[in-house]
A and B are shown apart, each in its own frame.
Chain A
Amino acid sequence: MGKKARLGFAAFVLVGVVAYLMYTGVRQTAVYYITVNEFAQRRHQLVGEGVRVAGRVASGSVKRRMTPAGEEVWFEIGDFKDDGGTTPVLQVYYTGVVPDMFRNEGGSDVIVEGRYDGSVLRAQSLMTSCPSKYEPMEPASAAQAGGN
């Protein structure tokens, strides 16, 4: 019985380690994943939080500027609408490489991730998604183009 107990103990320790790593991992890396509409509803609770917001880039809102530190992009995102006439809800600031699929005239479906400072979402990552008329295709890992 002693052997069994020792083995059980080893398994228990291992399960505990996995559980601990998972728990702290979630605590430290979890971000709210919301649509831009949900964001609008709980805007005030989200100040200072890590968020990942999905929305559509408002037409005419994109400003890009080349700086020595890289490219700066400002744009606004709003709800997904078929006619493309999106009402801006959230201002986004992003520095880095802009994904291929991002359209300067607006209308791209994007997922931005970063921290909301009360007025602007400072995004560390900007991902574009396939336009919704396409069905899901094989490599969803395309998400990482330009991400992280």
Chain B
Amino acid sequence: MPTDSGAVALVIAWVLSVYALVASIWGGLRKQEDLVRSAENAALAVWAFTLVATIDLIRALVSRDFNLEYVAQYSSSTLPLYYTVAALWGGQAGSLLFWLAILTSMAAVVVLQNRSQNRHLMPFVTATLMAVAVFFASLLVFVTPPFQRLTFTPGDGRDLNPLLQNYWMTIHPPSLYLGYVGCSVPFAFAMAALVTGRLDDLWIRTTRRWALFAWFFLSLGNLFGALWAYRVLGWGGYWAWDPVENAAFMPWLTATAYLHSVMIQEKKNMLKVWNMALVILTFLLTIFGTFLTRSGVISSVHSFTQSGLGPFFIAFLVFAAAVSISLLIWRLPSLRSDNEIDSMLSREAAFLVNNLVLVGMAFAVFWGTVFPVLSEAVRGVKITVGPPFFNRVNTPLGLLLLFLMGVGPLIAWRRASWSSLRRNFLWPALFGVLVGSLFLFAGTGNYYAVVSFSLCAFVLATILQEFWRGTRARQAMLGETWPVALARLTTKNRRRYGGYVVHLGIVMIFLAITGTSAFRVEQQVPVKVGESFEIGPYRLVFEKIETWETPHSAHMAAQLSVFEGGRRVDTLKPEKRFYKKPEQPATEVAIRSRLGTDLYVVFGSFDATSQTATILAYINPLVGFLEWGGVVLAIGTILAAWPQRAVRGAVAWEGESRVRVEAP
């Protein structure tokens, strides 16, 4: 039996990562720079060998080497090339290899970036990253080797799960993994700061961009997952509080809290312990998330099988938590902050409450997710809580968060005076109240929705007001035309205005969530060929059934003509597919999008004897804002993370207060 070069590369990567871990700790503690350098070079080599293994697995997939168990399990001879490469993260072993590849790539970037800076932190940064690498490499070498050969060569593979054969699904795992793994870098620097006692905000400034990078991909990963669920699963929604979704959402919440609370540390030198705790928590949640996705411990659809990975993840989580929390407790005396909060009406307080809400949400989601396991341990019965639990807890907290999103960026530091409050919030508050009253007046009975729209309007107004005032100030002081003033305002203060743009994206996502959860129309109708039914402003006529076949799958589509106001506006063809390998049916929804509102049609079933089809139709108001909000959020994050041109490091840091002076 041939030995795969990938398998050999993985063993070498494992050995080297163990060496890098030991050598960097040893070198760091003994202050032996050559040993630290050697460990860093080993980390680079780990990266190279992991890449060799990853490329070898991709090669095996692409060359359809079905003798390799992984290839036989997750691809087939008819699978398109695009999805064949994506099969790399379609199964367990491959996705862990992919995780390791991302982690070691990031470790390599960190090593190369810090060849001549942060030298005192680097030994422990390398050590932390390599400790995580050792864990994943161990899984790949000892527990789920991706290069397992079969004793025979099957004629064809079992194919990738059809649910994964979708555009969103191919980009969702990579972006989520980039987000997950990206959180390891701030964590590594935090650990290094704790070990070395260099507890100033150097580690925070060094990892600011990493944190944004991780947050960016976590956000996109969550959104891509939601869009995938919406387009592929065919139940009309996009978020179901499934354990796997929660697994991706929890670190996002704590990472969001962290991005806000670091600003307080930079500005006020406060919340040092809190920031450390958030970084640790976020990292642990990313590992926990990978564990949830990979172990099947929490009953989700795949509950009947449990892979053997669980105990290893638990052990690693306990180990990582024990080490990081002990370090934090050990350094607690030197993390005391010099300042305290002066007033409840201040930006510090608003940020603090925002943090508490975000962490509270993460805790509630965590609780709801592990509740079955907890209740089984305590009472001997598995008790689950469903989506209503999560909605019930998160709706009020989310609205509070939305409110704070309007308040936080405008309220003054330290202590806000009443006149400044009036100046900053009068118009936005009036606008919010106006929008809210309009909805009430129009007879909207869902008060959560009214509050949500009203708050969205409020936040939107605060953001627009900020851009307006900044632009006006530049026009007045520098005589620029407004487009120039607006552009310069934004690009000169990327972090601040990028943040506003991100907030705008979040407002849009709130609109989508509110629209779909409060005003969704759902209909389930049996129709015979030639019959029609109505939903919202539309009338749908079931014209005919179409069937066709490809080598890969068999298709059956219901052709529906869509009429609006007596005029034919569209033809929708929701499909039922039957994949030949694995023999598995799937649903292909049809969507008509207009102004962010979707008509979403699913072909439920077809009874040939009575020629009756069950059609599920939904009107999902504002759902399009989910996608657009994601785009805006992405633009804002890139803007905020984009390096400022000049090397005015320290000055750029004060950007926020400089503009305060400019604005009236």
> A residues engaging B (CB < 8 A)?
3-4, 6-7, 10-11, 14-15, 17-18, 21-22, 24-26, 28-34, 38, 52, 54, 66-68, 70-71, 80, 96-98, 100-101, 109, 111, 113, 127-130, 132, 134-148
Contacts and interface: CB of A to CB of B under 8 A. Distances in A.
Contacts of B596: none
Nearest to B299: A33
Nearest to B242: A141
Contacts, number: 210
A18 B300 contact: no
A143 B307 contact: no
Given A25-B393, A137-B302, A141-B245, 14 more contacts: A6-B344, A14-B356, A22-B367, A22-B389, A97-B524, A97-B616, A129-B304, A138-B169, A139-B163, A140-B293, A140-B302, A142-B301, A144-B237, A148-B235
Given A28-B388, A140-B300, A140-B301, A66 B585 contact: no
A115 B387 CA distance: 17
A101 B587 CA distance: 10
27 contacts: A7-B341, A14-B353, A22-B364, A26-B371, A26-B385, A28-B388, A29-B385, A29-B386, A33-B382, A96-B524, A97-B605, A129-B301, A129-B304, A130-B301, A132-B304, A134-B305, A136-B295, A137-B90, A138-B89, A138-B90, A138-B173, A138-B293, A139-B169, A140-B301, A141-B233, A143-B300, A148-B386
A145 to B, nearest CB: 5
B429 interface: no
A136 B163 CA distance: 13
Interface string B276-315: 0000000000000000011110011111110100000000
A47 to B, nearest CB: 16
Contacts of A24: 392
B343 interface: yes
Residue with the highest number of chain B CB atoms closer than 10 Å, among A22, A67, A96:
A22
Nearest to A140: B300
Interface in B380-418: 381-390, 392-393, 396-397
Interface stretch (B316-324, B436-444, B606-614): B606-614
Contacts of B164: 137-139
Nearest to B526: A66
Interface in B337-378: 340-344, 349, 352-353, 356-357, 360, 363-364, 367-368, 371-372
B299 A148 contact: no
B307 A141 contact: no
Interface in B496-513: none
B53 to A, nearest CB: 20
Contacts of B381: 32, 34, 38
A140 B244 contact: yes
B161 interface: yes
A88 to B, nearest CB: 19
A3 B392 contact: no
Interface residues of B, number: 81
Interface of B: 89-92, 95, 161, 163-164, 169, 173, 225, 228-229, 233-235, 237, 240, 242-245, 293-296, 299-305, 307, 340-344, 349, 352-353, 356-357, 360, 363-364, 367-368, 371-372, 381-390, 392-393, 396-397, 524-526, 576, 584-587, 602, 604-605, 607, 610, 612, 614, 616
Nearest to B578: A100
A21 B235 contact: no
Nearest to A38: B381
Nearest to A71: B614
A148 B387 contact: yes
B392 A29 contact: yes
A145 B384 contact: no
A148 to B, nearest CB: 6
A129 B396 contact: no
Residue with the highest number of chain B CB atoms closer than 10 Å, among A22, A111, A138:
A138
A98 to B, nearest CB: 6
Nearest to A132: B304
A129 B300 CA distance: 8
A141 to B, nearest CB: 4
A80 B382 contact: no
A25 B392 contact: yes
Contact of A70 (B342, B356, B614): B614
Residue with the highest number of chain B CB atoms closer than 10 Å, among A7, A24, A38, A80:
A7
Given A25-B385, A97-B604, A135-B307, A143 B91 contact: no
A25 B382 CA distance: 17
Contact of A67 (B384, B393, B526, B604): B526
